[in-house]
Amino acid sequence: MAKVAIIGAGSIVFCKTLILDILATDGLEATEFALMAPSTRRTPQVEDFVKRVIEANDLPASVWITTDQREAVRDADYVIATFQVGGIDGFEADYKIPLKYGVDQCIGDTLGPGGIFRALRSIPVMLDLARDMEELCPKAFLLNYVNPMAMVSWALGTTKVPFVGLCHGVQTTMDLISGYVGVPKDEIDFLCAGINHMGWFLKLEHEGRDLYPTLRARFEEPGYYVNEKVRGEVLRHFGYFMTESTGHLAEYVPWFRKNQKALDLYCDEPGFGGESGAYYAFCKYVADKYAGTELLADEPITLPSRSIEYGSYVIEALETGRTFKLNGNVINGGMITNLPADCCAEGPVFVDRTGLHKTIVGDLPPQCAALNLTNINVQRLAVEAALTGDPEHIVHACALDPLSGAVLTLKEIREMATEMLEAEKQWLPQFAGKAIRPTPTIEIPADVERAEVPVDPALAIMARFGELGQ
Residues 6+ apart with CB under 8 A from 93: 86, 117, 420, 423, 424
Burial of 328 (0-12, 13-18, 19+ CB in 10 A): buried
How many CB atoms within 10 Å of residue 173?
20
Could you say which of 168, 212, 224, 225 is catalytic?
Answer: 168
Are 253 and 229 in contact by the 8 Å Cβ rule? The answer is: no
Instruction: Give the helix ranges, DSSP H, for 267-389.
Output: 278-289, 311-320, 366-388
CA angle 393, 249, 9 (to 5 degrees): 75
- Backbone torsion region of residue 87, taken as left when φ is above 0, otherwise alpha when ψ lies between -120 and 50, otherwise beta: left
Exposure letters 251-284 (e unless 16+ CB within 10 A, then b): bbbbebbbeeebbeebbebeeebbbebbbbeebe
Q: Which of 78, 240, 252, 266 is catalytic?
A: 252
Residue 463 and residue 470: Cα distance in Å, rounded?
11
CA atoms within 13 A on the CB side of 205: 9
d(CA 170, CA 216): 19
Helix (H), strand (E) at residue 351: strand 344-352
CA–CA distance, 360 with 401 (Å, rounded to integer): 29
Cβ–Cβ < 8 Å for 312, 22: yes
Report the Cα 422 to chain-centroid distance in Å: 24
d(CA 407, CA 403): 7
- Concerning whether 237 is annotated as a catalytic residue, the answer is no
- Tell me whether residue 168 is one of the annotated catalytic residues: yes
Beta-carbon contacts of 121 under 8 Å, excluding residues fewer than 6 positions away, are 85, 86, 90, 424, 427, 428
Task: Report yes or no: 144 and 152 within 8 Å, Cβ to Cβ.
Answer: yes
Whether 121 contacts 427, CB under 8 Å:
yes
Q: What is the DSSP letter of 206?
A: E
Catalytic residues: 168, 252
